[in-house]
Amino acid sequence: MIIFKTIPELRHYLSSRKEAGLSVGFVPTMGALHKGHISLIHKSKEDGCFTVCSIFVNPAQFNDPSDFEKYPSTLPEDISLLESAGCDVLFLPSKEEMYPQGMEAAPSYHFGRLEEVLEGAMRPGHFAGVGKVMSLLLRIVEPDALYMGSKDYQQCLVVQDLCRQMGLKDRIRFIACPTSREPDGLAMSSRNLRLSESQRARAGIIYQCLVSLQSKFDSGADFGIVQKECLELLQAKGFETEYVSIADAATLEPMTQFDPNRKTVALIAAKIGAIRLIDNLNLN
C-alpha cells in the first residue's frame, strides 16, 4: 500500500493507474477503523477496483468542538488493517492540505430537507461540512465507484445528492454497503471505542429497539405506542434519546404511522454519557 499526503502526488499516481485501464474504488473515512470500514475495502476489491482509502478527520462537520477533540485516532492500527485488507492507496492529508485557504473558502452545497430533519436538526451545519469535504475528495480522487456504510443512512442520501449536484451521478457508482454489527447487534462505529465497559454492555439495546420496530411494522401496530415503548426502554438503560423515528426511505420525511405501501426506514439517535450513537434499519 502506498501512502500519499499531498493532493498533486496522489492525483499524478491515480492518473497513471487510470491510464493503465484500472477502475478506482474509493472509501472515505475519518480513521479509527473497524471491521465495517474494512468490509468496504473488501467490497471494492471484490468488485475489481484499484482501491483508495482516505483518512481525514474533517473539522468542518463537527458542530461540537469537544466531539472533534475527542474523536479517536488509531493511525498505526489503521494502516496495518488497510494493508492486511489489500488496500492499494491511503490518502492521509492534513487540514492545511485539504483547506489551504480555510474551511470557509471550500465549496458549499445545500441539501434541502435532508439538512433539516433527524441528524440535520440535531447537528446544525454537519451536512454542510460533509458536503465540503466530500466535494473536495471526489474531485481529488475522481473515483469510478464510491463505497459507504449504511449505518450513516442520512449521510449516504446527502452524498448521493452531492454527486447529483456536482454532475457526477452518472459517472460514479454509489454503493451503500450493509451495516456491520457486533454479536449483540450494536452497529460498528469508531465512537464505540469511547464506551466504558458498562456503557458497552447496554449499547446493544438500540438495535433491539430497531428490531422491535420492524416486528411491530409487520404486525400493523400503532407507531406512537411502539415509539413510546422504545423511548422508555432506552431511558431505563441510561440513554438520553434524541429521536426514535420512522421515515420515508428515499426522502427521510417523517411518518406518523407504519405504512406497508411505502419503503420505510427506522432511525434512532441516543446518547449514553457523552457518547452519541446512531443506527437504522430498513423496515420493508
Model confidence over 192-245: pLDDT tens digits?
999 999 999 999 999 999 999 999 988 889 999 999 999 999 999 999 999 999
188 is in an annotated binding site: yes
Query: How far is 209 from 260, CA to CA, in rounded Å?
Result: 19
- Are residues 22 and 109 located together in one domain of the fold? yes
For helices 35-46 and 75-85, angle between their N-to-C axes, nearest 10 degrees: 30
In this prediction, residue 70 carries a pLDDT of: 85
Q: Which of 12, 37, 42, 110 is catalytic?
A: 37
Beta-bridge partner residues of 148 = 176
Known catalytic membership, residue 37: yes
Last residue of a domain, one of 146, 177, 208: 177
Cβ(115)–Cβ(127) under 8 Å? yes
In this prediction, residue 248 carries a pLDDT of: 97
Instruction: Give the three cell numbers for residue 147.
Output: 463505497
- Are residues 60 and 172 located together in one domain of the fold? yes
- Are residues 213 and 156 located together in one domain of the fold? no
In this prediction, residue 46 carries a pLDDT of: 98
35 is in an annotated binding site: yes
152 is in an annotated binding site: yes
| pLDDT interval class at 31 (50, 70, 90) | very high
32 is in an annotated binding site: yes
Residue 221: other Cβ atoms inside 10 A: 16
The CATH code of the domain that includes 204 is 3.30.1300.10
